[in-house]
Structure formats: C-alpha cells, structure tokens
Structure 1
Amino acid sequence: MTISPVRLVLFVLLVGLLAWVGFDLVADQRDDARRERDSAQVEVKGLREAARISGEMLAARDEIDLQRTQELTNERNQNDGLRRDVDDGRKRLRLAATCSTTKPTKTGSGGVADAETAELTADARSDYFTLRDQLALSRQMILGLQDHVRRICLR
C-alpha cells in the first residue's frame, strides 16, 4: 500500500498546522501565566509596603500611648500626693476670696471676728481632686490625639 504524494503533502501540512496551533495555544497560555505572575509580584510588593507602613504606624501609636499614659500616671501620682498632703494637714488648699459681713457692725469697723484664710470644705476638696484627675485625663487624651494626627494621620 502506497500513499500518493498529494496525500502525503496534505498529511504533512495538516500535522504541521496542528503543531503550529498547539504551539500557539501553549505560547498564549505561557504569556498569560507570566502576566499573572508579574501582576501578583506587583501586588505582593504593594502589600509588603502597606504592611511595613502599618507596622510603623502601630509602633508610633504605641509609643504615643506609652508616653501619654506615663505622663497621666505621673500627674495622677502628683495629685494623689497633694491629696494626701492636704488630708494630713501638711498643705492647705487656699482660695482667693473675700469675706464680707452681711450685718453692719455698730462699731463701724468692717470685719469678721473669726476670719481666717478661705479654704475649701471637705466635700469641695474631694471634688477638687476629682476635677484635677479628670483634667489631667482630658489633657493627656487631647495631647495624644494631637500627636496621633501629627505623627500618623498627616504622614
């Protein structure tokens, strides 16, 4: 059995065409895979950079928090020391106040017989120290937020 030369040429052309189509298909798949790989590498670089920046921002936030917490602790310790000193009588809370008489005196001299330096009552004293604690907390919160905006948000 012999194959005619025309059939042989057609067979060779058909096999060559199929090989060329197969090669083209594989080459397209290879090019698509390379593009996907390159895209993934760019995305990985971006994610690594974002993770690095996030880490720096978290470290800065933690540093701000540590600093402000330490300052708040120091202020509260000072306030507690002052409270103990006032309670023990080593220090006094004085007010800038004037005392006037509500009844006119017959002698004409204005004054109060038991006049002393104006001082807070015991209830007002505890409120005073509570307000000092709250003021210290508010101050540190505001300063911490300002630091956060300056060092992290405006970065």
Structure 2
Amino acid sequence: RQRQNAALDAKYTQEIADAKAESEKLRADLTSGRRRLQLHAVCMPATAGNTAATGATDATAARLTPDAERDYQRLRTEARSVTAQVNDLQQYINEQCH
C-alpha cells in the first residue's frame, strides 16, 4: 500500500510540477512578447457623461463578448470549486488518516 501511495504521490507531484512549468513558460513568453493573449471583446458606446482620458465624448469601452464573459465566469467558478474540494480532502485526510 505504501508503494502505491508513493507512486500516486510521485505521479501527481510530477503533474503539478509540469503544470507549474507550463504556466511559468506562458508567463515568460507573455512578458517577452513571444506570445500574446487574445481576448474576444466588443467596443460598446460610452454612457452619457463617461468620457475617455482624452475627453472625447464618443469614446467606447471594450467589454468581453458574452461568450468570453461566460467562459471567464465558468473558469472562476471551477477554480473556486476545485479549491473547496482540495480543502475538504485535506481536512478529511487530516481527520481520518492521521
């Protein structure tokens, strides 16, 4: 059983390390300009009384498209859910396995 646990731990530890490395590579590529993020957005007319820094009254404000906004909200929800699951599992392990 200990060998199985050690093998699983090694597997998941490697997966986490790979994900972190991929994330750091993306961050470095974005910083250096090798890669760029593309956001799907639309420009909405500015509301009355809302002007750009230049003072123009016909300025527009960029917004995520409805699909991109839904995707963003879904990712935020999933991230919160995963965090809650991890916290619950950690609590379970601490209470039941020690």
Q: Give TM-score scaled by structure 2 length.
A: 0.48
Name whichever structure is richer in strand by fraction.
2
- Structure showing greater radius of gyration is 1
Q: Give TM-score scaled by structure 1 length.
A: 0.32
Q: Which structure would you say has the larger RCO, counting Cα contacts within 8 Å and 6 or more residues apart?
A: 1
Name whichever structure is richer in helix by fraction.
1
